[in-house]
A and B are shown apart, each in its own frame.
Chain A
Amino acid sequence: MSDAPSPDGSLPLHPLEFRILLVLLRGAGHGYRIVKEIEASEAGRLYPANLYRRIRNLLGKGLIEETGPPEDEVEPDPRRTYFRVTGLGRDVARAEARRLEELVLEARDRDLLEPA
């Protein structure tokens, strides 16, 4: 499906892991920023242990990596750990998006949704 090294092996992604990738695709960030952005787009709270468990999984699968504060950070904080998406992570996110898109199309076929 893709020319990247087997992103399909990581599919399907846990929804929260997918969301984290989506946030980090906009640029490197630390835990606090990830939480803020996810909570801004979705109701409900995201608590630390749950978040970091997902971050650990993503790190383990090589989808994200630790990095320093980005250069355009307004208040860079060297004590915090920043994360950014790896090349593999970008491919996996893309593959997951396609998978979801196919699911959505299938839902449309079953008249679950208005036609696009």
Chain B
Amino acid sequence: MRAYRLLLWLLPRDLRRAHGEGMADLLARRLGDARDPMERAWLWVGAVADVVAVSLSERLGGDGSASGRTTRGQAGGLGGDSPLRRAAFTARYAARTLRRAPASTAAVLVILSLGVAAPTAVFSVVQSVLLRPLPHPEGERLVVLNSPFLDAEAWPAWSTSPAALGLDRVSAFTIWGGTARANGQADAVRAMPMSEGFLPLLGWNAVLGRNPGPADFRPDAPPVAVVSTRYWNRTFGEGGAPGGQVVEIDGVSFEIVGVLPPGVTTFAHYRNVDVWVPLTAAPVPGAGILGRLQAGLTSEEARGRAEAFVVATADAAEVGRLREQGRSLVNLRTLRTLLTGDLRGALWAFLGASLLVLVIASANAANLLLARGLARKRELAVRRAIGASRRRLVAQLLTEAGLLAAVSTLLALALAPAATRALLALAPMYIPGAIEVRLDPLVLTFSVALAVTVTLCAGLAPALLSTGMSRGLRASRGGADRGAHTLESGLVVAELAAALVMVAVTGLLLRAFLVLSPSDPGFAVEDRLAVEIDLPAHLYQSPERVATFAAAVTERLGNLPGVERAELVTYVPLRGLSDYVPVDPGRPLAEGEREPMVHLRSGSPGYTALMEMPLVAGRRPAGPGESLVNESAARRLWPAGAALGSTFTVPSRPPATGGTLHRVVGVVADARIFGGMVESRPEAFILFGDRPVPRFNVVLLTHSPPPGLEALRDGVEDVDPAVPVTGATSLADIAWDSMVVPRFQLTLVAALGVVALLLAGLGAFAVLTHLVARRRREMCVRLALGAPPARVAAGVLAHTGRVAALGIGAGMALAWSLAGVIETTLFLPTVDARDPGTLAGAAAVLAVAAAAAAAVPALRAASLDPISGLAEE
């Protein structure tokens, strides 16, 4: 309806003001009465033509009153003399003409509206993700900076020299996962300790209470906090206001002074943050900087300056060590990059793909319009013969195309919100602010521009051709249509070429997807549930307490109904997390060799068995000091072989206190712990008891039904009521999530590819059908003279073959030349965009589609009856 209201702007103001609502209401009721989508579509066609016609006749000042003029017919036909009146007539005539051929009109409408809806939906996502300004003041200049040299101690030095970092304002933040107690409830929360300038930089202001003021950031100030609306409502109920409420996080009490606006829980890629506190009140290690780039500086330049700052201020030996390991000294990314991540290129690629689909759709629509133009050449010839100018006829045909485009655009805009929602449901990225699916002016302009372009492209050539060749009645029989038929075939060639590119890209993504999801990752995920546990640091300071709790909670959860076994591990697979530490392999290091790094996990002895990670040598660990390594680690740590029985030392933190010694009792096969896209890395598995840490997972092997979150919480509470359960996730879900980017790309491109293929097939079918109809007389003569039907059919197939060969050839060339773009925009690890197998496969698919499109027309040609066929002529 909004689209219709926009359309009403065509009407004179007085009419629109007085009765616009009435018109919209009337149309809405009539749409409500419509029995099926087809009828609704017709109502839209009529309503658009109605508004256009009324606005034209109103503006030419004519028919406003019945002042003296003789009554005109309903069609408003005859007395047209002024150009505008003629235009009104043309619009109505076009609408009537379109109604007379409902099948082809409906086909064009469906094709064009799908063709416009796809790019509109993709564009509205592109617009919100990439083009709409970030919801922060000067949001495009905000950057997040991390560095191994940046921690709470180093922060004061960094904060006093923002210009040295290429920034004009800086603030520090860090992330603090803890247990919050407030109003008698305990929750696992993510808190964000921050420095004074943090909230103002983001432009976040408390909607209830106040932001922390300068006094609150002094080291001796009483601790205060601001919380998210979500947390506030959950803990204190809606409607209240901050006034002395206290939230205690890991033993530190904060007075809540403000509540941030709803929806504010995410900063950069840190999601679900519920509490913000001054950095001074919660010194936790590790800090990042949120800063604003100096005006005119790029993020690259700022990174260069920050690196220079590190080199100038940090310990030279440490800088050298990091550089040798190939690690960066400074990591600086814009907030925009952090939010859109890898998908920036992919989104533009999707937009390109959907525009390609629109090109195919337009070519199809142009073909259908061309066929109509040819079918009507007698009518056009008659109109020319009785004095209509060619210009007028072209205008007539263009008006028809424009009307079709207008209605398709309205249909597309009606479809677009649903398509956008579907897209977002698939989309893995965080979208800044709640994305609103609405008729944004930019999106609207985009769609209308598409529609206008489509009208001109799809309508102009057919209009010129079908009027040009009908100069007189003489020309209306036989030959002379060569230009039109060349155009027809040319359009099909273009469609096939574009479809080939789409199919080829789909094939590439499918290959990438298969590479990324190996059938056997090297461990089992089905029926495994990971329960995350994060012990409150202030209650669990000694390793012994942690180990005791871990053993008790593992046993307790293992006894829950629905659980077969429970084991403990610090990091579950596919989350991308591990301790990456240097180890001492207990052998002399070779000249220039550095201590090898391994990904370290610790857990209970039965963990690797529960995960069904196969042993390739030795046995699984059973007692203290025993450990496993994977094949990569065995090769890396002991290149000479004999990993079994060797020992390695893991340094403790801080390094001064020595380390823990572990003896290798078995070697497990390499597994894709970090997901299919990452090569296997050296990993070591040690026993939790040898190195207890306060964050871990209990992995449960479950029957159905698995225990619910409540049962798990109760189980943990039985052991210690002060410990919250952060979450419970099935490993199968984690595996699914780890593929979300490749799956999103594949789904979207495959859907567009299928549409492209269907449209191209339809286009080929329409043209071949038309070819058979056009050459019917000739074919009948040949059949009558004794040509075998197979030969006549072969003629159709040969034509198909020529068109398909040209289309496929052009498509291959296009795909080949686009390979660079495809590789840089889509996520295609280990797949070459010029992969000959994939291109050949795409060509085969197109050939099959062309053959399928040719089958019916060829059969029809073969089964022509020469006698009746010639008699009809």
Interface positions of A (Cβ within 8 A of B): 10-17, 30-32, 35, 44-45, 47-53, 55-57, 60-61, 80-81
Enumerate B36-95 residues with CB–CB distance to A below 8 Å: 46-47, 49-51, 53-55, 58, 63-66, 70-71, 74
Which stretch (B22-30, B381-389, B517-525) binds chain A?
A: B22-30
Partner of A32, one of B29, B53, B55: B29
Query: Does A52 lie within 8 Å of B65, measured CB to CB?
Result: no
For residue A97, give the distance in angstroms from its CB to the closest CB of chain B: 14
A48-B23, A53-B58 known, 12 other contacts, Cβ within 8 Å: A12-B71, A14-B63, A14-B71, A17-B66, A30-B22, A47-B47, A48-B51, A51-B23, A52-B19, A52-B26, A53-B54, A57-B64
Query: Does B15 lie within 8 Å of A51, measured CB to CB?
Result: no
Query: Does A35 lie within 8 Å of B26, measured CB to CB?
Result: yes
Query: Does B26 lie within 8 Å of A56, measured CB to CB?
Result: no
Q: Kindly state whether residue B642 has any CB partner on chain A within 8 Å.
A: no
A17→B69 CA distance, assembly (Å): 14
Return chain A residues, CB-CB under 8 Å to B22. Answer: 30-31, 48, 52, 55, 80-81
Q: Kindly state whether residue B101 has any CB partner on chain A within 8 Å.
A: no
A47→B51 CA distance, assembly (Å): 8
Return chain A residues, CB-CB under 8 Å to B640. Answer: none
Query: Does B19 lie within 8 Å of A55, measured CB to CB?
Result: yes
Query: Does B66 lie within 8 Å of A13, measured CB to CB?
Result: yes
Which single residue of chain A is at the shortest CB-CB distance from B8? A49
Interface positions of B (Cβ within 8 A of A): 8, 11, 14-15, 18-19, 22-27, 29-30, 46-47, 49-51, 53-55, 58, 63-66, 70-71, 74
Return chain B residues, CB-CB under 8 Å to A16. Answer: 74
Query: Does A48 lie within 8 Å of B26, measured CB to CB?
Result: yes
For residue A82, give the distance in angstroms from its CB to the closest CB of chain B: 11
Q: Which 7 A-B pairs have the closest CB atoms?
A: A47-B50, A48-B23, A52-B19, A49-B54, A48-B26, A31-B26, A49-B51
A32-B66 in contact given A49-B51, A50-B50, A56-B19 (Cβ < 8 Å): no
For residue A32, give the distance in angstroms from its CB to the closest CB of chain B: 5
Which single residue of chain B is at the shortest CB-CB distance from A77? B25
A52-B15 in contact given A10-B66, A32-B29 (Cβ < 8 Å): yes
A45-B46 in contact given A10-B66, A17-B66, A32-B29 (Cβ < 8 Å): yes
Which single residue of chain B is at the shortest CB-CB distance from A15? B71
For residue A48, give the distance in angstroms from its CB to the closest CB of chain B: 4
Return chain A residues, CB-CB under 8 Å to B14. Answer: 56
A48-B47 in contact given A31-B22, A32-B29, A56-B18 (Cβ < 8 Å): yes
Listed by A's residue number, 7 A-B pairs whose Cβ atoms lie within 8 Å are A15-B74, A16-B74, A31-B22, A32-B29, A47-B46, A52-B26, A61-B65
Return chain B residues, CB-CB under 8 Å to A51. Answer: 23, 26
Query: Does A32 lie within 8 Å of B26, measured CB to CB?
Result: yes
A57→B62 CA distance, assembly (Å): 13
A18→B14 CA distance, assembly (Å): 22
A24→B180 CA distance, assembly (Å): 70
Which single residue of chain B is at the shortest CB-CB distance from A39? B30
For residue B88, give the distance in angstroms from its CB to the closest CB of chain A: 11
A14→B71 CA distance, assembly (Å): 6
For residue B281, give the distance in angstroms from its CB to the closest CB of chain A: 56
Query: Does A35 lie within 8 Å of B30, measured CB to CB?
Result: yes
A49→B46 CA distance, assembly (Å): 11
Partner of B74, one of A44, A49, A52: A44
For residue A6, give the distance in angstroms from its CB to the closest CB of chain B: 14
Partner of A52, one of B23, B30, B70: B23
A48→B18 CA distance, assembly (Å): 13
A60→B70 CA distance, assembly (Å): 20
A100→B517 CA distance, assembly (Å): 81
Return chain B residues, CB-CB under 8 Å to A30. Answer: 22
For residue A83, give the distance in angstroms from its CB to the closest CB of chain B: 10
Query: Does A12 lie within 8 Å of B26, measured CB to CB?
Result: no
A14→B50 CA distance, assembly (Å): 17
For residue A1, give the distance in angstroms from its CB to the closest CB of chain B: 17
A103→B8 CA distance, assembly (Å): 38
Query: Does B66 lie within 8 Å of A49, measured CB to CB?
Result: no
Which single residue of chain B is at the shortest CB-CB distance from A17? B66
Query: Does B50 lie within 8 Å of A48, measured CB to CB?
Result: yes
For residue A43, give the distance in angstroms from its CB to the closest CB of chain B: 10
A50-B19 in contact given A12-B70, A17-B66, A31-B25 (Cβ < 8 Å): no
For residue A72, give the distance in angstroms from its CB to the closest CB of chain B: 21
Return chain A residues, CB-CB under 8 Å to B64. Answer: 53, 57
A78→B51 CA distance, assembly (Å): 26
Which single residue of chain B is at the shortest CB-CB distance from A52? B19
Query: Does B26 lie within 8 Å of A53, measured CB to CB?
Result: no
Return chain B residues, CB-CB under 8 Å to A61. Answer: 65
For residue A101, give the distance in angstroms from its CB to the closest CB of chain B: 15
A114→B713 CA distance, assembly (Å): 93
For residue A115, give the distance in angstroms from its CB to the closest CB of chain B: 25
Query: Does B25 lie within 8 Å of A80, measured CB to CB?
Result: yes
Which single residue of chain B is at the shortest CB-CB distance from A61? B65
Query: Does B15 lie within 8 Å of A53, measured CB to CB?
Result: yes
Return chain A residues, CB-CB under 8 Å to B24. Answer: 48
A12→B65 CA distance, assembly (Å): 10
A46→B13 CA distance, assembly (Å): 21
For residue B94, give the distance in angstroms from its CB to the closest CB of chain A: 15
Which single residue of chain B is at the shortest CB-CB distance from A13? B66
A14→B15 CA distance, assembly (Å): 18
Query: Does B66 lie within 8 Å of A14, measured CB to CB?
Result: yes
Which single residue of chain B is at the shortest CB-CB distance from A44? B74
A49-B65 in contact given A35-B26, A55-B19 (Cβ < 8 Å): no
Return chain B residues, CB-CB under 8 Å to A12. Answer: 66, 70-71
Return chain A residues, CB-CB under 8 Å to B46. Answer: 45, 47
Return chain B residues, CB-CB under 8 Å to A52. Answer: 15, 18-19, 22-23, 26
A45→B95 CA distance, assembly (Å): 12
Query: Does B27 lie within 8 Å of A48, measured CB to CB?
Result: yes
Return chain B residues, CB-CB under 8 Å to A31. Answer: 22-23, 25-26
Return chain A residues, CB-CB under 8 Å to B65. Answer: 57, 60-61
A104→B49 CA distance, assembly (Å): 33
Which single residue of chain B is at the shortest CB-CB distance from A79? B25
Return chain B residues, CB-CB under 8 Å to A15. Answer: 71, 74
For residue A102, give the distance in angstroms from its CB to the closest CB of chain B: 14
A35→B27 CA distance, assembly (Å): 11
A41→B797 CA distance, assembly (Å): 54
For residue B820, give the distance in angstroms from its CB to the closest CB of chain A: 51
Which single residue of chain A is at the shortest CB-CB distance from B23? A48
Report which residue of A15, A47, A80 has the largest number of chain B beta carbons within 10 angstroms of its beta carbon.
A47
Which single residue of chain A is at the shortest CB-CB distance from B58? A53
Return chain B residues, CB-CB under 8 Å to A60. Answer: 65
A80→B19 CA distance, assembly (Å): 11
A56→B8 CA distance, assembly (Å): 15
A80→B55 CA distance, assembly (Å): 23
For residue A18, give the distance in angstroms from its CB to the closest CB of chain B: 9
For residue B21, give the distance in angstroms from its CB to the closest CB of chain A: 8
Return chain B residues, CB-CB under 8 Å to A13. Answer: 66
For residue B11, give the distance in angstroms from its CB to the closest CB of chain A: 6
